[in-house]
Amino acid sequence: MHYLAAMVCRQAVRVSLFLALFFFAAMSLPANKKPPPAPINLNTATSEELQLVPGIGPVTAEKILQMRKSYGAFKGVDDLRAIRGIGPKRLEKMRKYLTVGKTPSQSKPPSAAKPGSVAKPTTPPKPSSAPADPPCPLL
């Protein structure tokens, strides 16, 4: 009888430990992300903003930022397919939360003045009405 009670007790401890580990693992996993309220611009987003998109974690966000740094602005959301780990199914789940817009450097015209500076007129100066000096023949 003593042997049977010990086996039952061990089995109960094993089951309890298994359930505790299961619940601990379930609690440590991130819950489903709440999607961002507006699409995230791939050309201007930070790592934290990219991680708001379901399917993008810290590693994928860093890969996206590295690709943007290495190759320049994204032309379309489909450019993400070049990143290892983003396949067609994963991209389709993320697509509605992403957009590609102009980067801040692309949206400014090249001749835009710095904030706070005074714009100078670009009209050519008027010729003076005084007669020009005649050339000096001695030189």
Asked if residue 76 is part of any domain, the answer here is yes
Structural domain harbouring 39: 34-105
Q: Give me the amino acid identity at 15.
A: V
- Cβ(102)–Cβ(43) below 8 Å: yes
Measured distance CA(74)–CA(99) in Å, rounded: 10
- Residue 29's pLDDT is 47
* CATH number of the domain that residue 99 is part of: 1.10.150.320
Asked if residue 84 is part of any domain, the answer here is yes
Measured distance CA(85)–CA(91) in Å, rounded: 10
Asked if residue 86 is part of any domain, the answer here is yes
- Cβ(18)–Cβ(29) below 8 Å: no
Asked if residue 17 is part of any domain, the answer here is no
Asked if residue 66 is part of any domain, the answer here is yes
Domain count for the chain: 1
84-98: per-residue pLDDT in tens?
999 999 999 999 999
The tokens describing 4, both together, are 């049977």
What letter does residue 124 receive in the DSSP assignment?
P
What stretches in the chain show pLDDT beneath 50? 20-21, 24-29, 107, 109-111, 113
Asked if residue 50 is part of any domain, the answer here is yes
- Residue 76's pLDDT is 95
The tokens describing 25, both together, are 């693992």
Asked if residue 110 is part of any domain, the answer here is no
Asked if residue 11 is part of any domain, the answer here is no
Is 0.75 topped by the overall pTM?
A: no
Supply the mean pLDDT for the chain.
Answer: 76
